[in-house]
Amino acid sequence: MTTMVRSKMMSPLTWLRPAALLGLAIGIVGPATAQTYPAKPIKLISPNSAGSVPDALLRLVGTQLAEHLGQIVTIENRPGGGTTIATKAGAAADPDGYTLLQASSALLYTTVLYPNAGYDPLTSFAPVATLASWSHLLVVPASIPANTVQEFVAYAKSRPGQLSIGFPLGAAPQVLAETFKNVTGAPLNSVPYRQVPQLTSDLLGDRVHAFFGAGTGLVSLVQQGKLKALAYTGMTRYAALPQVPTAIEAGIPQLALNPTDWTSVLAPAGTPAGVVTTLNQAINHALRSPDIQAGIARQGGEARPTTPQEFAIFLAAEAKKWPPLVKAAKMQPE
């Protein structure tokens, strides 16, 4: 499905497109600069499924980005291959600033799982800007007779092979899930999902028994008593659920990652520096909007504006953090 939102003076239009990819097109009526970037619509490729937290964050920023640049911004969801399908397409795009890639921490470890992915996380891209970062809640169904991590691990050990932990493939929750199993010895079956909504549905239906997730949807389910939150991977407690201990407080400090996950925008390597600067300034302008900051907060995240140089330094540090975790967790490719 494709949704187009034009300027505030026009009514939103929604229609079905016979294509496998989900997309969001956001545009405004305004003069396109003929001699300077951008002079035509911009496409953002996302490796995340529609409805996921990263997808929701990208759509929030995409609206403001389109308005600021005066061009249509199209978001194409290309999940699959542990995020490698979209990432490879982003790396192979023309370096002209008109095809960009949404990336997260998975960028830094997918090449460990997929050595022939067709791109290098640090040399195939030009860092443009970070968007937001967030941490995750460890949640279990309300029916599970456990209120702490230790109680849940003991419960799982008393029923070896009977409980499972779910995660979206190729994303930080998979690393968290496998690391959790590794450090606690909990005999949980790993259940990969392509769509987070289906995972949540199975969690509520007691078909899967644990999940590291983010976003206000989970918070609401915890507040309604439908799920229990046992730990939060942030360095401080989650303001929306202050009763939930941090991973450190819950006895699993290996899962206290700062940040646990993030989302960003990359351009293909070789994109002109002036284009990167224009995009960075437009994205940071969007991130300064109180409405965007509030929207990101509703998704459980925090706006993270950076310069391209700061983003490059951050990527280099993240590239050292994630691969060892993936190897220690003995993760397997899709």
What is residue 9's predicted lDDT score, i.e. its pLDDT? 30
Residue 22 has pLDDT above 70, yes or no: no
If one compares 130 and 171, the residue with the highest pLDDT of the two is 130
Question: Among 16-20, 253-257, 273-277, which stretch is predicted with the lowest mean pLDDT?
Answer: 16-20
Question: Among 94-103, 217-226, 251-260, 268-277, which stretch is predicted with the lowest mean pLDDT?
Answer: 251-260
Residue 333 has pLDDT above 80, yes or no: no
Q: How far apart are alpha carbons 144 and 125 in whole angstroms?
A: 44
pLDDT in tens, 7-17: 333 222 222 23
Is 142 in the same domain as 124?
A: no
Domain extent for 150: 137-255
User: How many other β-carbons are positioned within 10 Å of the β-carbon of residue 78?
Assistant: 23
Domain boundary among 255, 282, 300: 255
- Is the sign of the CA dihedral 148, 154, 158, 163 positive or negative? positive
β-bridge pairing 13-15 and 2-5: antiparallel
Is 318 in the same domain as 293?
A: yes
Averaged pLDDT of the chain: 87
Let me know if residue 33 belongs to a domain. Answer: yes
Is 316 in the same domain as 221?
A: no
What is residue 334's predicted lDDT score, i.e. its pLDDT? 65
Q: How far apart are alpha carbons 200 and 146 in whole angstroms?
A: 19
Let me know if residue 125 belongs to a domain. Answer: yes
Residue 155 has pLDDT above 50, yes or no: yes
**Amino acid identity, residue 35?**
Q
**Cβ 230 vs Cβ 252: under 8 Å:** no
Q: How far apart are alpha carbons 2 and 26 in whole angstroms?
A: 10
Domain CATH for 310: 3.40.190.150
Percent of the chain's residues with pLDDT above 70: 89
Domain boundary among 255, 280, 307: 255
Let me know if residue 334 belongs to a domain. Answer: no
Percent of the chain's residues with pLDDT above 90: 70
Residue 325 has pLDDT above 50, yes or no: yes
Which runs of E-coded beta strand occur in the chain?
A: 2-5, 13-15, 22-26, 42-46, 73-77, 99-104, 125-134, 137-141, 164-168, 189-193, 211-213, 227-232, 261-268, 301-303
Binning pLDDT at 50, 70 and 90, where does residue 29 land?
very low
Which runs of E-coded beta strand occur in 182-295?
A: 189-193, 211-213, 227-232, 261-268
